[in-house]
Amino acid sequence: MRGKRFSTGAALAVGSLAVAGMAFAPAAVAVTPDTATITADCGIFGSGEATLAATQDGTSATITVTSAITAPIALAEDSITSTLTLVNASGGTTTFSGTENPALAAGDPVTVGPLSGTVASGDSLDAYGGSLQIVVLGITVNCTATGPQSPGPFVFD
């Protein structure tokens, strides 16, 4: 019986330490806002509103773009190569890239991502002045924002 009480006490002590450790763990990093919209011009391929959704995990960040253009034909999953370049308020640019996209039916808005990139704490990134390049079936589509993001640039912790 004595061994059983010791095991129970040890388990409670370990559990208490785990809970205390969680209370003092660093808060998860976040990007604000986590979603922004832009008006994009993609030349002969169209223009309109695009949505950018950002996430952050330390210095790694991802952005998913639902663009202003539509798929002219059905496109397979992970068949689009994309590069998103955002302008940093402190100077320079940050690039997010990848080959991820959901399967798209003809007429669906082209969604790419999550596109991966590296950020630093305090980076303030905006699509205005940057670009989105999408390569699908050997055709390159270049899109640019016609104004700043709304509600504002992505600020990374």
Kindly give the pairing relationship between strand 109-118 and strand 124-136: unpaired
Is residue 40 within 8 Å of residue 67, measured between CB atoms? yes
User: Which residue ranges of the chain lie beneath pLDDT 70?
Assistant: 1-29
Nearest to 83, CA basis, from 100, 71, 69, 103:
100
- Measured between alpha carbons, how far is 52 from 64 in angstroms, rounded to an integer? 6
Residue identified by tokens 């922004």 is 36
* pLDDT value for 146: 96
**C-alpha angle 124-94-150 in degrees, rounded to nearest 5:** 45
**Which residues share a beta bridge with 83?**
97, 133
Global confidence as pTM: 0.81
- Measured between alpha carbons, how far is 67 from 61 in angstroms, rounded to an integer? 19
Identity of the residue numbered 132: L
- Measured between alpha carbons, how far is 151 from 142 in angstroms, rounded to an integer? 23
What is the pLDDT of the chain when averaged over all its residues?
A: 86
29-63 pLDDT, tens digit per residue, is: 689 999 999 999 999 999 999 999 999 999 999 99
* pLDDT value for 68: 80
**C-alpha angle 25-31-32 in degrees, rounded to nearest 5:** 125
Judged by DSSP in three states, 137 sits in: coil
